[in-house]
Structure 1
């Protein structure tokens, strides 16, 4: 019986242990907490198993010594209080397991604890319970908010503490005055990522047992205590992003230490301070990026033959440094131990030397963003241990060497943004470990090699914007089982599948095949990109940019995609997030699209019929412009709530009817474009609900009525385009007072009347103001000099003309139809560069206000076809940036002002048509000016003219006088005064005469002798 009882006892204990292990290790540790490795069915089964166990004797608490629940996903539940009853436990790790709430003080009952790790496990309402853990050797409270606690007082009660991790604890008080320190056994102290904003406390240097000290991003600054020499056991010092390290005193004290790892990134270290490092020959890791190294690194680097990792990146040298010089410093060691070399963004010049292959231990080489030129050396294949090679953003040319295939351990290869040409070598298929391959923005030619199919571990393949040609078949993808990102746009490639029902071996998340030829049928294989991964976690395609010409070329004569085949495969991808199929000839109707779309760009196709129905989760960006959609807006907009939609572009279609009054459901909109349709009726008042709106474009419709006062609520509006309609009434004063952030206002070709309101002068940021082709009357406001951008008081901004969302990374660019030089064009990309004021074809009268000449940055001015009178302002030449100016067909008279200042704009440089239809004279007009007396103007004009001529001629007079003085006193006067100068001068003339005579004589002699 006793044997049976004993067996039962151990069986029950074993089952309890199994339950705990199974329950708390449901998911394997992973740095990405979303990538859990268990299925929901298994999770429920384990929970049911645990509930079926009974531990009445609480035997589990009596013998459990080690409990590690780190790196799990407990759904932000609180740390269970019963853990505090496991009184014999010595090792407890709850770090990074999605615990939240208050850490239970019952953990203070675990008096046997040696290791306690609570990183990112919740909040500490009270730290006092830690004082009872006298046997604690290792304490990790990283991520806990300790700003309200006297943390050092509590920590000082733990005399056995060896490791202390308090990273990112929002500490601000460093406790500079400590009477007695009890943690003198500490070997590791991590206070990184806290904002102390003070000097270093002296008590740190009394912990002479410290082996590792991490003060990264603590905002410590001087004065520096002369105490680093006390830390005789220090081997690891990480103090990046602190100012106190820019001191030669610190390095002199560390020069005789046994440091093996030194991190002084972003510390403001200068080149002179760096010279003090020459004695640290035991260093294994040296990180010194983002400093102020302006001189060439010292040759003493050759003494550091034990170095394994070096990071010199992102320093600002005054002169270009030779890459060969730096590499020779490391090659002077007989057996270089270097494993990681980071020399990015240093302005390195020269070529990659063939000696590079001698760094045989290299595992990572980063040389991006430099000025390295020449070709890739064949010796690069000797780096047989290399796992990461980054040569991006340089000037490297030539072919990719065949020897690249010898790097069988290579996992990451970045060669983008260089001048590489030729074809991809077949040997690239030998890179069996490769996971990321970036070849974009080069000049690679030829076709993709079939050997690419051998890269079975490849996850990311970027090769867009090259000159690749040829045919791509399913053979190229045969073994790319792990491919997730495929970006091959901007090449002249053709996808030709031998089997129409081909199913790719991969599951893509990002796809870009713009400018490829994918026809004659729409790629049906896309519908296979929605399969779950082996652990039942969705791995769907999220972004698809295919068959997109980007508008750089006219659409091909034959459609890339069969124009009669709808893109129905996209509907079988419910998790699809981003689709761009713009600039094609896709025809048909759209009834709906996948619910989870975040952006859909179908502009510039041949879609027709009614607008599609939206889902309950509309996309953030929807662009259906430049198609043939027709009918009303009502059935698309009004039945739904447009929560989340930021950009809606339905411009350039055949939509008709009135704009519905249901915009209160679309409050997230930032860009609304309905231009060039057949919409009629008035502007809906509910547009006032769009308080986030920044761009409103209803240009080119048949809208009528007045501007509703409700628009004054659109206080964030920057672009207002209502031109080409039938709007009436006066321009409201609130346009300037309430919508003061406007940078573009286009109201041309309407029926506005009344005066130009002076309140419009409040538009300080205006860059384009187009009020042409209306019935405006009265004078031009004299306050136009308040336009800060036009007058140069403020720089022009391009931020108002484009929109980019974090959710939708594509840039949405504004466009506008403007008339310049007598021609109407649509401006988009260069729209931010346009500075235009157009008041033409109205009934404006009175003189051109002289204040207008203060608009020195204005580039286009059009006041033509009005009834303006008087003369042209004399200072119009101050408008130095004017590129086009049209004041034709007015009632102006007098002489065109002549400016002799070369830097100023001269009216004489404009075409004669710019002044046609006035009573003006002077160049460039054929009518030359004759003095004609005008009542009340004779004396005034004479005074002005004489004064202008006098002031303009002074420069000519002064230059002539100075020229005469220089010519006479420097050249002629010495000849008169000095006899020796005269003799030498005439001798020179005689010599020149004989030389010329000899040349002519020899030339003539040679001709006659022939």
Structure 2
């Protein structure tokens, strides 16, 4: 494609008129002006590289139709477009730009020239500066369709003496968070011609100041009796008046999802619709609307219903049998409620058009009475996870040959899968049968379209299957099964160019991990944990340079960390614990892998010092180097850890789990992994003092330095770690007293300083006194919870370097007393033994007394 777009690229005028979706790029040439008679210009869905809409388009005066939407324009829309006075259709909308660089309009005055305009779409155009938007729109009397979605409209209650857009049929104001008001404007209810009204995602709470807050009486819509479609989803409405719904007998689609109608029952809503002699309702969507109670039998009387969405509410009880009478129904979603009971073929008896059945997250049992039941429908999407379909595999599934998505995970199925299952779904793209106890062998050759395969936590065994879907497979999760043998034939086959996730963890796979990772160019998530792999970490892993999370823990891997891993610059989680890796921890782990948030090298054979490069891991949230043979001191630069020091918020980890030791026990953290903040350097040979810089890691929850050779005192500011829950300094050579600041650690539930050289009183706090005595043994400590009370005079530790003790210094007392006794006898002994010494001594004191008297007498006599 040329860098400049002009009409010469197209053979005919018709091709130019329909230039949309041609992936055009570059700049628009003014040569388009040569087409004097051009009436229809569609350049939508192209990519013009964020150029501004050219001003010369405003000179195409004969245009009736102009569509520039979704073509990656930016900047100010030129007011010259207002010169195209013959326009009937103007589409300037775009996709939402995550960079906030959408096209924008400073004022709308130019639009008032387009008096013949019928269709106007300015979706995602920034109109925050166009305070005249309503006044200008109100001057377009021919307008029938108006799309102002996500325009940052600021003034929703403009002043207008009269309403001129009385021919409007469709009004879309969705995704406008009107910061100046949260009430639906009254002028909308005067457009009696409306057949479609979309006010979704506007954060509205009510109708107007005259109506009580948080209410939206649908009585206010009584003039809009022509409405066919009403969307009020994703607002903050808490109350509606169901009886008023009886006025909308023409209504086809209503969406009240994502509000909070806690005081409204579904039964009362349905009765309002059923007041119409022949209700036309085809779509009723009430997702996440705060509804509770039962799903009433009256639902079966909405005979034209095609789509029913009731998920994410608090419905209880069983599904009504009347659902089976909705013969037009195509989509049924009652997932994520509290429904119970047995679902049989009666619930589906007339659902011949059903395409999507979504019932996950309930306590329902799907158990047809007939063993050979064949449903009347052909589903495309079936989601029944977390229900009960077992223990036998539901054979009726094999009849659903049109399936595209199938999720029956966690469904209590424990029998083998029939062989015919693997040959029944030529269109299946998504398959999730994880968290069951299914058995048998896998044969994926009969599912050629498969892109997502989740079979974790079952009892599939034998060798790994051949995967012919490699070229299109995006996710392969076979973890938590009984697979054995080598992975070479799977990993080294051709065609893994689309695979993003590979999880073979928690099986019994053996052998070396092969050197063929150049075949996995887009892989992001790799999990091979808890198998029996041996040998070295493959050097070719560096070719899979998009990996974000890598877990090879719990194997028998040996050797050094290969330098090729430094190419994995996107790596956020590196889990290699429980292997036999050796050598020093290379400095590039911190310098090159600076995006790491979790680094777990626990229980290996690493030696040498902790590299200073680790201090470049500013985003680290979990650092576990425990149970190795590391030496040297603890780096002081750990205060660079931004998340642990509270300078950044913590990260959310998805689809991963990591084994960690907290409070003396090993746990596998998965769903709450993002809440864990841990530093574990225990069971090494680290020496020196505990750096005071560790006390700046105020977001730490677990700090374990036990089993080292650390000396000196515990830092006085250790009490700054207000969120610490688990703190272990046992089995070191620490000395001095426990800092008084420890008493302020109110979150502390696990504390151990046993087997050090600590002395003095244990600081008083509820946390410390509730601990077991074993947490303090092997020291010279006293006070609760120990049975040894502290006496008034305590012998301090004289070996510490900075003696700030307030105890009694017996050495000083002995020295003073000895000096006094020696001085006493040096002076008095001659007086007792020698008479001449006594006479001289008393004569001296007598003469000194007369001298003092004489001086005082002369001073006062003046």
TM range (shorter): 0.7 to 0.9
State how far apart, in whole Å, the 1-side matches of 2:435 and 2:780 are.
51
Residues 902, 376 of structure 1: alpha-carbon distance in 2 compared, 3 angstrom cutoff: same
Residues 498, 643 of structure 1: alpha-carbon distance in 2 compared, 3 angstrom cutoff: same
Residues 868, 567 of structure 1: alpha-carbon distance in 2 compared, 3 angstrom cutoff: farther
Where does 1:942-957 land on structure 2 (aligned, <5 Å)?
942=805
Residues 609, 934 of structure 1: alpha-carbon distance in 2 compared, 3 angstrom cutoff: same
State how far apart, in whole Å, the 2-side matches of 1:132 and 1:689 are.
53
Q: Does 1:880 align with 2:715?
A: no
SS of the equivalent of 2:160 reads: helix
Structure 1 unmatched runs, 5+: 1-75, 79-99, 198-216, 385-402, 531-539, 550-558, 803-812, 946-1010
Q: Does 1:604 align with 2:604?
A: no
State how far apart, in whole Å, the 1-side matches of 2:114 and 2:671 are.
60
Where does 1:785-824 land on structure 2 (aligned, <5 Å)?
785-798=639-652, 801-802=653-654, 813-824=655-666
Q: Does 1:759 align with 2:622?
A: no
1:917 to 775, 778, 783: 778
Q: Deviations over 1:277-309 (max 9, x none)?
A: 654483645544413341545656665555554
Q: Deviations over 1:187-214 (max 9, x none)?
A: 525252389x9xxxxxxxxxxxxxxxxx
Q: CA deviation at 1:859?
A: 0.8
Where does 1:709-748 land on structure 2 (aligned, <5 Å)?
709-748=563-602
Where does 1:562-581 land on structure 2 (aligned, <5 Å)?
562=415, 564-566=416-418, 568-581=420-433
2:511 to 657, 672, 697: 657
Indicate the larger mover: 495-504 or 653-662.
Answer: 495-504
Where does 1:127-276 land on structure 2 (aligned, <5 Å)?
128=31, 131=34, 134=37, 142=44, 156=59, 164-165=66-67, 167=69, 186-188=86-88, 190=90, 192-193=92-93, 218-222=103-107, 241-242=124-125, 251=134, 258=141, 261=144, 264-271=148-155, 273-276=157-160
Q: Deviations over 1:295-345 (max 9, x none)?
A: 5456566655555544444334688955766534344x5x85555444333
1:294 to 169, 176, 181: 181
> In 1, are the aligned partners of 2:262 and 2:292 still within 8 Å (CA)?
no
> In 1, are the aligned partners of 2:714 and 2:738 still within 8 Å (CA)?
yes
SS of the equivalent of 2:589 reads: helix
Q: Does 1:484 align with 2:355?
A: yes
> In 2, are the aligned partners of 1:879 and 1:905 still within 8 Å (CA)?
no
State how far apart, in whole Å, the 1-side matches of 2:59 and 2:651 are.
56
1:613 to 452, 466, 471: 466
Q: CA deviation at 1:917?
A: 3.3
Aligned to 1:701: 555
Q: CA deviation at 1:694?
A: 2.0
Structure 2 unmatched runs, 5+: 749-762, 809-862
> In 2, are the aligned partners of 1:323 and 1:352 still within 8 Å (CA)?
no
> In 1, are the aligned partners of 2:525 and 2:548 still within 8 Å (CA)?
yes
Q: Deviations over 1:587-625 (max 9, x none)?
A: 233355534322222222222222222225263222222
> In 2, are the aligned partners of 1:858 and 1:881 still within 8 Å (CA)?
yes
Aligned to 1:963: none
1:528 to 399, 402, 405: 399
Q: CA deviation at 1:170?
A: 6.3
State how far apart, in whole Å, the 1-side matches of 2:279 and 2:214 are.
26
Where does 1:965-980 land on structure 2 (aligned, <5 Å)?
none
State how far apart, in whole Å, the 2-side matches of 1:107 and 1:324 are.
57
Aligned to 1:315: 202
Q: Does 1:837 align with 2:679?
A: yes
State how far apart, in whole Å, the 2-side matches of 1:138 and 1:641 are.
45
State how far apart, in whole Å, the 2-side matches of 1:561 and 1:281 are.
63
SS of the equivalent of 1:606 reads: coil
Q: CA deviation at 1:886?
A: 0.9
Aligned length: 768
Residues 936, 820 of structure 1: alpha-carbon distance in 2 compared, 3 angstrom cutoff: closer
Q: CA deviation at 1:861?
A: 0.7
Q: CA deviation at 1:869?
A: 1.6
- TM-score, length of structure 1 as denominator length: 0.67
Aligned to 2:238: 349
Residues 567, 412 of structure 1: alpha-carbon distance in 2 compared, 3 angstrom cutoff: farther
Aligned to 1:768: 622
> In 1, are the aligned partners of 2:232 and 2:257 still within 8 Å (CA)?
yes
> In 2, are the aligned partners of 1:422 and 1:443 still within 8 Å (CA)?
yes
State how far apart, in whole Å, the 2-side matches of 1:653 and 1:236 are.
60
> In 2, are the aligned partners of 1:456 and 1:479 still within 8 Å (CA)?
yes
Indicate the larger mover: 465-474 or 931-940.
Answer: 931-940
State how far apart, in whole Å, the 2-side matches of 1:838 and 1:689 are.
31
State how far apart, in whole Å, the 2-side matches of 1:278 and 1:707 are.
76
State how far apart, in whole Å, the 1-side matches of 2:669 and 2:513 are.
26
State how far apart, in whole Å, the 2-side matches of 1:515 and 1:900 are.
46
State how far apart, in whole Å, the 1-side matches of 2:539 and 2:657 are.
25
State how far apart, in whole Å, the 2-side matches of 1:231 and 1:409 are.
37
1:668 to 518, 522, 545: 522
Aligned to 2:405: 543
Aligned to 2:817: none
> In 2, are the aligned partners of 1:404 and 1:428 still within 8 Å (CA)?
no
Q: Does 1:282 align with 2:182?
A: no
SS of the equivalent of 1:760 reads: helix
Q: CA deviation at 1:701?
A: 1.9
SS of the equivalent of 1:636 reads: helix
2:261 to 372, 392, 395: 372
The structure with the largest helix share of the pair is 1
> In 2, are the aligned partners of 1:752 and 1:775 still within 8 Å (CA)?
yes
Q: CA deviation at 1:719?
A: 1.6
Aligned to 1:460: 331
Where does 1:896-911 land on structure 2 (aligned, <5 Å)?
896-899=738-741, 908=765, 909-910=767-768, 911=771
Where does 1:389-408 land on structure 2 (aligned, <5 Å)?
403=274, 408=279
Let me know the Cα RMSD of the aligned residues: 4.3
State how far apart, in whole Å, the 1-side matches of 2:581 and 2:628 are.
10
State how far apart, in whole Å, the 1-side matches of 2:428 and 2:126 are.
48
Aligned to 1:518: 389
SS of the equivalent of 2:86 reads: coil
Indicate the larger mover: 657-666 or 903-912.
Answer: 903-912
Aligned to 1:989: none
Aligned to 2:844: none
State how far apart, in whole Å, the 1-side matches of 2:776 and 2:248 are.
74
Aligned to 1:431: 302
Indicate the larger mover: 270-279 or 853-862.
Answer: 270-279
SS of the equivalent of 2:804 reads: helix
- TM-score, length of structure 2 as denominator length: 0.78
Residues 420, 381 of structure 1: alpha-carbon distance in 2 compared, 3 angstrom cutoff: closer
SS of the equivalent of 1:917 reads: coil
1:692 to 543, 546, 550: 546
State how far apart, in whole Å, the 2-side matches of 1:862 and 1:931 are.
30
State how far apart, in whole Å, the 1-side matches of 2:139 and 2:57 are.
34
State how far apart, in whole Å, the 2-side matches of 1:491 and 1:329 are.
37
Residues 249, 653 of structure 1: alpha-carbon distance in 2 compared, 3 angstrom cutoff: closer
> In 1, are the aligned partners of 2:794 and 2:807 still within 8 Å (CA)?
no
> In 2, are the aligned partners of 1:464 and 1:491 still within 8 Å (CA)?
yes
Q: CA deviation at 1:771?
A: 1.6
SS of the equivalent of 2:460 reads: strand
Aligned to 1:850: 692
State how far apart, in whole Å, the 1-side matches of 2:77 and 2:516 are.
61
SS of the equivalent of 2:299 reads: helix
Residues 696, 242 of structure 1: alpha-carbon distance in 2 compared, 3 angstrom cutoff: closer
Aligned to 2:735: 893
> In 2, are the aligned partners of 1:634 and 1:659 still within 8 Å (CA)?
yes
Q: CA deviation at 1:877?
A: 0.9
